[in-house]
Amino acid sequence: MSVSISGLPTNTKIMHESQKKWRSRAWGKTLKKNAGDIENLVEKMHILSMWSNSLQSSKAASILISEIFLDGYMSIHFASWGLYKYANICLRSQLESTLRLIFFSTHPVEFQWWSESNDWYRSSLRNKDVWGEGYIYFEQLDNVKEFERKCDRNHMLFSEARKVKRIYKTLSTYVHSGLSSLQVRPGAFSPRYQASGFRKWLSNFKEIQSYMNILLILGFLDEFKELNQTNQNKIIDTGIESSQHKEKVREIIGTTS
Amino acid sequence: MPNSCDFKSQLIEELWLPFAVGFADVTRPRLRKNKKMRVLTLTSHDCQEIKRFEEQRLTKREHVVAWNHQHIKVFRLETDIPPAKVLGNSRYEDSSSSPTFSVGQYFPFDIANLDFSSQDPEFEFGRIEKEMGSLEHTLRLQGIGQCNNFILLYTTILNSNDLSYQNIVRNSNNIYVPEWSGLTLSDFPPSIKEQKEKMQCIETVLPKICAKYHYNGETHTKHISLERWGKDVFSIAAIISKQEAQSVS
């Protein structure tokens, strides 16, 4: 639907005309320099369709996996438009939704409360999110414990290296507009392609997808084992970054790479 | 493996469209500007068939339910063909038997296009058997929706995997319908290797499954060889019509 420019109010007209330019300029430059990276990321997003199919009987999954996908997909869009701050905010949302999904898979009552916008966890328990304080809940899960036992210190998700906590903290600086995470840069007020911003976001994106897939495998191990070998390999090989994480996940599911 | 978009146009022009237009002209002769056919279509981001059906005035987008299991294609389809309803987030053949099947509320359809070639199929054993199971569920839902006649299009990709006729029979016979004696195991060998025999099997089984739900099925087929990839595209178009009720003596 094309917009009739002449009929727009003044400020809206200014905004409309400028957004057409900065969006297409940033998009074009991003694709010119990074089309291969973008393709790689979209391939990672395809994995969520496999999870969606596998977990289709779960109401929580049917709601949250679509949201996790859209957060990731919009993150790519925002980054391609030079909106790195907002692209990173989407990644934090992806991680939170994944953690919630795993929690809700064994807490249907809490899922129902959450669906009804009941914030019992905040008001009565004073927790930031549904799963309780910190990441204690996830650290207690048998599959997670086993995974952590197998990993060396530098690769643990919740203990020692605390990979999940660290990336969450990094992404939170974008949510809370930390100085190093501001959208505005000296001499760059309007959104534009910036190689350093893109690279930083790209690294965060890959890290988040990786932890998401590890946590989904550990949280839904039975469902994952029912997938055919091709899909299992695709999720592990495309969805997880670190070789050690891939290896340890394979050990847990009882296959060799 | 070529993109399904590459060979789909041939299927549309040489099989699907002529069938659909012929059916619409007979069943809705007075509707000229828009035959208002309700369409279910398993499609990819190209949605060629939806556009061609529209051009031929068989339908308009508000009467179309499109399905793809990949989020990125659902997103693209929603962007390209509003106000068509776009559903998915799971494979059709994996969800059609579920009581919470999301398409269920939209039945019945005048055209049901089960084009599995557009769904990025996984070439694992049991794939076609599952597809045929979902074809039966589609017929069942059409029956529940009291649809008297419609077009059924089924398209699949035949690869080197054997087709298990035994599993097709078992899957179908597991869906109980009163007074239905079941598919016969002796019609085909338990496991079928030859492509031509696979096509024959599908073409033979379809009318029998239709009869299970008190439908007659009149079929035409089209085969496209993807020799370079060692595969074949097999498409079957059927006019499905309700069997006339037996008179009580």
Contact between B216 and B240 under an 8 Å Cβ cutoff? The reply is yes
Residue A199 is encoded by which pair of tokens?
């690279």
Q: How far is B122 from chain A (nearest CA, A)?
A: 9
Q: Which residue of chain A has the CA closest to B72?
A: A46
CA distance B120 to A40: 18
> Of A53, A57, A228, which has the smallest distance from its Cβ to B69's Cβ?
A53
Contact between B103 and B67 under an 8 Å Cβ cutoff? The reply is yes
- Most A CBs within 10 Å: which of B45, B69, B86, B90, as the mutation test of the A interface? B90
Phi-psi label, residue B89: left if phi above 0, alpha if psi -120 to 50, beta otherwise: left
Residue type, A28: G
DSSP B174: T
The proportion of chain A whose per-residue pLDDT surpasses 70, expressed as a percent, equals 98
Residue B32 in this model has a pLDDT that exceeds 90: no
Show the CA angle centred on residue A30, arms to residues A26 and A34, nearest 5°. 175
Q: What does residue B228 show for φ and ψ, rounded to 5 degrees? A: -60, -30
- The secondary element (H helix, E strand) that includes residue A76 is helix A59-80
Phi-psi label, residue B86: left if phi above 0, alpha if psi -120 to 50, beta otherwise: beta
Q: How confident is the model at residue A1 (pLDDT cuts 50, 70, 90)?
A: low
CA distance B139 to B125: 24
Residue A79 is encoded by which pair of tokens?
């980054």
Q: Which residue of chain A has the CA closest to B68?
A: A49
pLDDT tens across B99-151, in order? 999 999 999 999 999 999 999 999 999 999 999 999 999 999 999 999 999 99
Q: What is the mean pLDDT of residues B64-76?
A: 97
A57–B89 C-beta distance less than 8 A: no
pLDDT tens across A158-168, in order? 988 899 999 99
The proportion of chain B whose per-residue pLDDT surpasses 70, expressed as a percent, equals 98
> Of B72, B91, B124, which has the smallest distance from its Cβ to A53's Cβ?
B91
Contact between B153 and B53 under an 8 Å Cβ cutoff? The reply is no
Dihedral sign for Cα atoms in the order B2, B4, B6, B8 = positive
A56–B90 C-beta distance less than 8 A: yes
Smallest CA-to-CA distance from A218 within A189, A240, A197 is with A240
Global model pTM greater than 0.80: yes
Give me the interface pTM, i.e. the ipTM.
0.91
Q: What does residue A225 show for φ and ψ, rounded to 5 degrees? A: -70, -20
CA distance A24 to A30: 10
pLDDT tens across B142-197, in order? 999 999 999 999 999 999 999 999 999 999 999 999 989 899 888 899 999 999 99
Q: What is the mean pLDDT of chain B?
A: 93
- What pLDDT does B245 receive? 56
Residue A124 in this model has a pLDDT that exceeds 90: no
CA distance A113 to B106: 30
B90–A69 C-beta distance less than 8 A: no
A230–B90 C-beta distance less than 8 A: no
Map tokens 């992806």 to a residue.
A94
Q: Is A233 on the interface with B (CB under 8 A)?
A: no
